[in-house]
Structure 1
Amino acid sequence: MKIKVLVAAHKQFPMPDDSVYLPVLVGAVKNYKPGIDYQRDDAGKNISAKNPYYNELTGIYWAWKNLKDVDAVGLVHYRRYFYVSKPHDLDHVAKGADYEHFLADHDVIVPKKRNYYIESNYDHYVHAHPAEPLDKTREIISADYPDYLPAFDMMMKRRSAHMFNMFVMKKEQFNDYCEFIFSVLSKLEGQIDISSYSVQDQRVYGYISERLMDVWLYTTKQNYTEMTWSQLGGEKKIKKGINLIKRKLGIGKKQTHF
């Protein structure tokens, strides 16, 4: 099985040495600097210029439109990877053989769920970002993708989700997933005005897509499995927890990425 797992990066950074990984410079139309020898997301058919709003989705879009002759496609981040064993460092990220093992019995691999415990997925989003894009997404799904609405409403009430736009999928599933998310986001672009949003909140389409992963996963009844994920250098879990509580109580600045 030929598998390619994109490693989304916006700058030069140490990369895994397994050939399954394909470093991709996202937002390359602006982020490229001489010496960065990564696949650029502004090659071929692309939306590289939308990277400030779409995050790593510009790399996913590039793969959807341009990556040929592969049996499965995935995406991880330059500091966030899948693992099958410890330690969780760059030398021990999941290998091509690990992905092939999981895909022998499943069509989709996603990261283990992130749990929010004290609030729903909807509350977690609106306590950190403007509510309009998420509410408008529901309107779009209700009107144009009604089969997906039950899963959307269910996910908004849950307190856990498969996050980060991380996955490995067989090509057929990858194509179906991309058709869904980019269709929804294209409609959303035409119905909201983000010009007054902060730089962080203008990344809205990347944030919304994280919430659409499980909507697609459950509606289409994918045969999926979960893999352990970890962030290089670890997560600032205490700080994340404190900020989660502060956002819920409406205290201080909305901070979601640190």
Structure 2
Amino acid sequence: MDIKIMIAAHKPYWMPQEPCYLPVHVGHALHPGTDLGYTGDDTGDNISAKNPHYCELTALYWAWKNLAADTDFIGLVHYRRHFTRREVRDVEARKQEILTATEWEDILRESPVVVPKKRRYYIESNRSHYNHAHHADGLDCAENYIRVAYPEYLPAFERVMNRTWAHMFNMFVMRRDLYDEYCKWLFELLTIVETRVDITGWDAYESRIYGFVSELLLDVWLEKNGIAYREQNVSFLEPQDWLKKGGAFLKRKFLPKNKEH
């Protein structure tokens, strides 16, 4: 089974040595003189130069256009965030929980798609959480385009937006035929958003608009197409300040966001 799980990275970092993992230097076109020893996302047909706005999706696009057609499964994780067997307290020990190539083969024989365990917001919907955390323009534009070009996706879009959970991080592993179908749909939609939303004056964080929007579009695509999937634990390889994260979540929820662009 030929499995390629890209590890999106922009700096040197510890990498698992299993043969299924492919470290990819995202945004390499913007740093042509830098060699991290990883595969660059700027060969062949690519959108590497758009990395400040598309984030890890530049690796997703590169794999879609450049990996061999007979690759059985393609996936995407992050250099600090991986699919793991379970969550453990010790941060360093989490590296030992990252799934091996053999484990991936066993999982993918049973499931065509693997996604992270649900991230739950409890007190607000996906739509309200997005609007509190980001400028609403990108998600609004995506909805408007779906309404016109893909009306059959609209019920799924509305269900996903009204939920209080989602499969986040743009992380997944997919059977190649499904991967190709998803990328075709996703990048067409994001290209439309790119042409219709003016992000002039947005700060560096908000300018990652296409990466943010796509996090919710994955569930829309899975939902509409009735794609079976397996949820898998995800671990972060660095300590996290949950008090700070919780405070930021509540601040976004209850304090008005500055909408000045």
- TM > 0.5 fold call: yes
The answer to whether the 8 A contact 1:84-1:98 is kept is no
Shift of 1:66: 0.1
CA distance in 1, matches of 2:5, 2:127: 30
Shift of 1:166: 0.2
Q: 1:244 and 1:253, CA in 2 relative to 1: closer, same or farther beyond 3 A?
A: farther
CA distance in 2, matches of 1:106, 1:127: 34
Shift of 1:32: 4.7
Q: 1:13 and 1:32, CA in 2 relative to 1: closer, same or farther beyond 3 A?
A: farther
Counterpart AA for 1:221:
G
CA distance in 2, matches of 1:129, 1:93: 31
Structure 1 unaligned runs (5+)?
none
Counterpart AA for 1:200:
Y
1:148 aligns with 2:153: yes
Shift of 1:251: 6.0
Shift of 1:235: 2.9
Q: Name the counterpart of 2:37.
A: 37
The answer to whether the 8 A contact 2:114-2:173 is kept is yes
CA distance in 1, matches of 2:217, 2:75: 16
Cα distance per residue 1:183-225 (max 9 Å; x no partner): 1001111111001211111100000000101000110110111
1:1-258 mapped onto 2 (5 Å cutoff): 1-68=1-68, 69-85=70-86, 87=88, 89-250=94-255
Secondary structure in 1 matching 2:4: strand
Q: 1:191 and 1:35, CA in 2 relative to 1: closer, same or farther beyond 3 A?
A: closer
CA distance in 1, matches of 2:30, 2:66: 20
Q: 1:26 and 1:245, CA in 2 relative to 1: closer, same or farther beyond 3 A?
A: same
The answer to whether the 8 A contact 1:140-1:184 is kept is yes
CA distance in 2, matches of 1:33, 1:17: 25
Counterpart AA for 2:46:
N
Counterpart AA for 2:212:
Y
CA distance in 2, matches of 1:43, 1:19: 21
Counterpart AA for 2:83:
F
Q: Structure 1 length normalisation: TM-score?
A: 0.94
Shift of 1:83: 0.6
The answer to whether the 8 A contact 1:246-1:252 is kept is no
Cα distance per residue 1:213-255 (max 9 Å; x no partner): 100011011011110001012432221111111111116889x
The answer to whether the 8 A contact 2:87-2:234 is kept is no
Q: How many residues align?
A: 254
Secondary structure in 1 matching 2:114: strand
Secondary structure in 1 matching 2:110: coil
The answer to whether the 8 A contact 2:119-2:165 is kept is yes
Shift of 1:92: 2.6
Counterpart AA for 2:56:
E
- RMSD of aligned residue pairs (Cα, Å): 1.6
Identity of matched residues, %: 46
Secondary structure in 2 matching 1:104: helix
Structure 2 unaligned runs (5+)?
none
Secondary structure in 1 matching 2:77: strand
Q: Structure 2 length normalisation: TM-score?
A: 0.93
CA distance in 2, matches of 1:121, 1:159: 6
Cα distance per residue 1:76-104 (max 9 Å; x no partner): 00000001145452233111112211111
The answer to whether the 8 A contact 2:132-2:257 is kept is no
Secondary structure in 1 matching 2:133: coil
